[in-house]
Structures are given as C-alpha cells and as structure tokens.
Amino acid sequence: MNILLDTSTFIWIVSNPQRLSQTARDICLKEENALFLSVVSGWEMMVKYHLHKLPLPEKPEIIITSQAPRHNIQIIPLEMKEIFYLSMLPEVKNHRDPFDRMLICQSWAQKMPILTPDPWIRKYDVKVLW
C-alpha cells in the first residue's frame, strides 16, 4: 500500500519513533508498504523551523535528505492537479492549516491514506491511518 506521511509522522519516524502508535510502527515496518513524504512537509518543516516553532536537532534540509532514504521514504512533488483539489475541500471551522489542507488534497489525488495522529485531518473525508 502507498501511504502519505504527515509531517509530524515523518519527524517521529526519524527522530522519536516511540511517539508512533503501534499501528503506525507496524505500517512503517511492512515491506509491502511504500512510504511517501510530500514536498509540502518539507516546506512546512522549513517554515516552522525558521520561525522557531519547530525545534529540530539539525536543519530540516539535512534531516530530510539524510533520513528519508535511510527509512525508505520517497519524496513526492506537489502537482498542479493536486492544488486544484483545494476547491473541493470543505471548510472545517477553525482549521486553516495550509499544510494539512494540501496533504489532504494530495491524499485524494494520489489515492493514498495519510499516516497521522492529527485530529484536524480526521475531520475531512480522507482515509487516515494511525
């Protein structure tokens, strides 16, 4: 199964795996599963790191480029057709996180569930694993 990682899930996989649920750990360890990290998550990490809202042991670019291959995580681009899905995204009161919203659109377009503990993402019609 192809699985899209939420930003926090990626960070936990590479630096704090005990934060993952047992289900998430099992999913990550199954060889038949392919894990994907969106460039949207890279963007989110860079923005939050430089605003001092995301403490990391190293710069995001170092973590992503060294740890994604080490954990067999493939990087996927953001495509225009995925951006167009934003017009179909319902409004969820008090949720305006552009990174979450783009990941939901990618999940729809790529037909991939999202591996995330984020309760906001669960409010959308998207398949969530955790």
Residue 20 has pLDDT above 90, yes or no: yes
Q: pTM for the complete prediction?
A: 0.94
pLDDT-derived band at 45 (thresholds 50, 70, 90) equals very high
Question: Looking at the 3D structure of the chain, how many domains does it have?
Answer: 1
CA 47 from centre of chain: 15
How many Cα atoms occupy the beta-carbon half-sphere of 26 within 13 Å? Answer: 5
For residue 116, give the CATH number of its domain: 3.40.50.1010
Q: Which pair of structure tokens corresponds to residue 77?
A: 């681009």
Q: What is the pLDDT of residue 93?
A: 87
Q: How far is CA 65 from CA 22, 43, 50, 69, in A?
A: 26, 13, 18, 7
Annotate 41-104 with three-state secondary structure: HHHHHHHHHHCCCCCCCCCHHHHHHHHHHHCCEEEECCCHHHHHHHHHCCCCCCCCCHHHHHHH
Percent of the chain having pLDDT more than 90?
A: 94
Type of residue found at 116: T
Q: What is the pLDDT of residue 2?
A: 98
Backbone angles phi, psi at 96, to 5 degrees: -130, 10
Pair 4, 112: CB distance under 8 Å: yes
Instruction: Give residue 89's domain range.
Output: 2-129
